[in-house]
Chains A and B, each alone.
Chain A
Amino acid sequence: MLFYKAWIETRVRFLAGLVAAAVVCIFYLEQHAWLVSMWAADLQNPHGYHMKWMPLGIHEYGWYLWHYLYDNYLQQVWALFAILFAFGGLIRERNGGTVLFSLGLPVSRRRWLFTRLLVALLESIGLSLFAVLVIAVGSAAIHETFSLSQVLLHTALMVAAGVFVIAFGNLCYTLFPGNYLSLILTLTLLGAPYLWLQTYMQHMRYLGRTPWIGYLDFAHTMAGPWQITWTTTPWMALLVAWTLTAFLLMATVAHGDRLDY
């Protein structure tokens, strides 16, 4: 029943997430032919815009999907909604006035927390799998073929590294008072370093450098390389993400156990 409660509290967000993911996927699938023809025209024009990745973008549909969806926009939409799915819990119930009813039930604080986190994780997985479905249907509609196993691996990597986002969001909700304030602070605290680090690391990689802070570039970890194999999977960065996730969860539990309602 706790799952049922968490689900009905978040189902509107989940449906909104599905719509957002569908919009992003459909937009970039629809833009594929136009972008490819534009890059091809650029490459043929000696004064045109030339980038190293352009031939890959023209000839490899899998690269196109990875670049626009898993390395950029779908990932960002997914991360945003993963945070929103994790939004809630006993602190939010305290603001809403229902926390005493919830805490009067024979359910431990940790069970409340982990049920909500599990539902958020399942919804995040559901969202990413829905995106795969949209990609499959959309690709068929534009007569393009792709490797389903690669897309599923990208999905798995996005979720596997993205658990950090869910845990971070949940800790922020537990720490900061006020529904809107906590949401804004969470998005700021997570979004600002996310975007800065992504930009900084892109620059570093362009220069051929790999500083240690690269392990904290979760956007890069979530995206992975465009062709995922056992050896190209960023295991070390995943380990860092999972370790930090574990610390965040421990901090949330410790703080939640101490709170007075």
Chain B
Amino acid sequence: MAAVIETIELKKNYGNHEAVRGLNLSVNAGSVCAFLGQNGAGKSSTIKMLLGMIHPTSGGGSIFGHRIDEERESLLIRQKVAFVAEDKRLYDYMSVGQIIHFTRSFFPKWNHALETQLLERFELPPERKIRQLSKGMRTKLALLLGFARGCELLILDEPTEGLDPVAIEDVLQIVVSLAAQGTTVFFSSHQIAEVEQVADHVLMIDHGQLVLNASMYEVQEEYRQIQAVFTDPVEERDLRLPGVERVKIEGHIASFVASRNVDSIVEHVRMLRAGNIDVLPISLKEIFLEKVRARS
């Protein structure tokens, strides 16, 4: 499958602070790719670099084959990409109808049917000024302005922040429906349950570096929580094996996450004379916490 988004050794420094440190990522066409990370992990900086809003310190990348670090190509990118920023503030002096009219003028493939449908579904009054909308309503409007652009790629930065559960469900359904129609979706989120619900690929970033790049299938099938009880004390170095993430030892009990080679890891643990070995499925949230803790 062709890569829609690609970055190579992408770096961004703000003074002495390295926000993004040599990021290599790839998002395939037609996928729903979640971009996870803590606050300040570098998600928004990466997205802004992809869209030409900030300039990379070094490295580069492309979207639909267009270079992200050249203004002329960035313009071509933004013709094909619908972006909804984390800060969903819009021109508050415009009405809902005016900003839809304004945004529509830049996108020849604007989806009028979806616009009408979302106006009704989100209960957005076209004549109301944006300054009179609640935060949730503004978020819905920002999402409408992104979804209806009819673009090939949708980049959403924290799309459901500030929405109620019903609206979140609506938004996720729309994301799935757009993906089913062939739109590639790249979205950042703190809501891991949402990611598990809609994403088919996960990229996890921590301190500006990619720490996980896997399909949801791989995450569900290959990642396991392993807990072993040993008769004799073991040391962490005994469990340093390919595929073993951070090891936690409490007395005779060792617990760790295995990202691959589960069978050979279990065999190795058995050889260390473990009395009892539990191999359990692990949620994306637990993987996220493991990855973050392992690095901090």
Q: Which A residues fall within an 8 A CB radius of B?
A: 1, 4-5, 8-9, 96-101, 103-109, 257-258, 260-261
How far apart are the CA atoms of A106 and B150 in the complex, in Å? 13
A16–B102 alpha-carbon span in the complex (Å): 26
Residues of B within 8 A of A5 (CB): 91, 102
A-B contact pairs, 27 of them (CB 8 A): A1-B101, A1-B105, A8-B94, A96-B89, A97-B87, A97-B89, A98-B89, A100-B86, A100-B87, A101-B88, A101-B89, A101-B90, A104-B51, A104-B78, A104-B81, A105-B78, A105-B103, A105-B106, A106-B78, A106-B79, A106-B106, A106-B107, A107-B75, A108-B71, A108-B75, A261-B48, A261-B54
Check A103 against B51 for contact (C-beta < 8 Å). yes
What are the residues of chain A within 8 A of B88 when measuring CB–CB?
101
Whether the Cβ atoms of A100 and B102 lie closer than 8 Å is: no
Q: Interface size class for chain B?
A: 20 to 34
- Rounded to whole angstroms, the CA-CA distance of A1 and B76 in the bound complex is 19
CB pair A4–B102 under 8 Å, yes or no, is: yes
Q: Which residue of A lies closest to B85 (CB)?
A: A100
Q: Which residues of B sit under 8 angstroms from A260, Cβ to Cβ? A: 48, 53-55
Shortest CB distance B48–A (Å): 7
Provide the bound-state CA to CA distance between A230 and B19, in Å. Answer: 60
**CB-contacts of B100-141 with A (<8 A):** 101-103, 105-107
Kindly list chain A residues whose C-beta atoms are within 8 Å of the C-beta of B96.
none
Q: How far is the CB of A28 from chain B (nearest CB, A)?
A: 35
Choose one: B83, B94, B102, B105; the contact of A104 (CB below 8 Å).
B83
Since A9-B93, A97-B87, A97-B89 are in contact, a sample of 20 more A-B pairs with Cβ atoms closer than 8 Å, ordered by chain A residue number, is A99-B53, A100-B48, A100-B53, A100-B86, A100-B87, A101-B89, A101-B90, A103-B51, A103-B53, A104-B51, A104-B84, A105-B106, A106-B75, A106-B76, A106-B78, A106-B79, A106-B106, A108-B72, A257-B71, A261-B54
Is B258 part of the binding interface, using a Cβ–Cβ cutoff of 8 Å? no
CB distance from A57 to the nearest CB of B (A): 46
Contacts of B257 in A (CB 8 A): none
* Closest A residue to B72 using CB positions: A108
Chain B nearest Cβ from A256, distance in angstroms: 11
User: Min CB distance, A138 to chain B, in Å?
Assistant: 34
Chain B residues with a Cβ under 8 A of chain A: 48, 51-55, 71-72, 75-76, 78-79, 81-91, 93-94, 101-103, 105-107, 142, 145
Cβ of A177 to closest chain B Cβ, rounded Å = 15
List the 8 closest A-B pairs by CB distance, nearest first: A100-B85, A97-B89, A104-B83, A260-B54, A106-B78, A106-B79, A1-B105, A261-B53
With a cutoff of 8 Å between Cβ atoms, the chain B residues found around residue A97 in the complex are 87, 89
How far apart are the CA atoms of A261 and B44 in the complex, in Å? 11
Bound complex: CA of A68 vs CA of B159, how far in Å?
Answer: 58
| Residue of A9, A97, A106 contacting most chain B CB atoms (<10 Å) | A106
> Considering residues B84, B87, B91, which has the most beta carbons from chain A within 10 angstroms of its beta carbon?
B91
A residues within 8 A CB of B71? 108-109, 257
Closest B residue by C-beta to A260:
B54
> In whole Å, how far is B42's beta carbon from the nearest beta carbon of chain A?
14
Min CB distance, B290 to chain A, in Å?
32
Chain B residues positioned under 8 Å from A100 (CB to CB): 48, 53, 83, 85-87
The CA of A4 and the CA of B99, in the complex, are separated in Å by: 11
Residue of B nearest to A261 (CB): B53
Please give, as numbers and ranges, the residues of chain A lying within 8 Å of B84 by CB-CB distance: 104
A99 to B48, CA, bound (A): 12
Complex contact B85–A101 (CB within 8 A): yes
The residue of chain B having its C-beta at the shortest distance from the C-beta of A105 within the complex is B106
CB pair B54–A1 under 8 Å, yes or no, is no
> Which residues of the other chain, B, contact A9 by a CB distance below 8 angstroms?
93
Q: State the Cβ distance, B241 to closest chain A Cβ, in Å.
A: 42
Residue of B nearest to A103 (CB): B53
**Provided the pairs A1-B102, A104-B85, A108-B71 are in contact, do residues A8 and B93 lie with their beta carbons within 8 angstroms?**
yes
Residue of B nearest to A1 (CB): B105
Chain A nearest CB from B152 CB (Å) reads 13
Partner of B106, one of A8, A99, A107, A261: A107
What's the least CB distance linking A259 to chain B, in Å? 9
CA distance A5 to B91 in the complex (A): 9
Q: Name the residue of chain A whose CB is nearest to the CB of B99.
A: A101
* Of B81, B90, B105, the contact of A98 (CB 8 Å cutoff): B90
The interface residues of chain B lying within 8 Å CB-to-CB of A101 are 85, 88-91, 142, 145
Q: Which residues of B contact A107 (CB under 8 A)?
A: 75, 78, 106
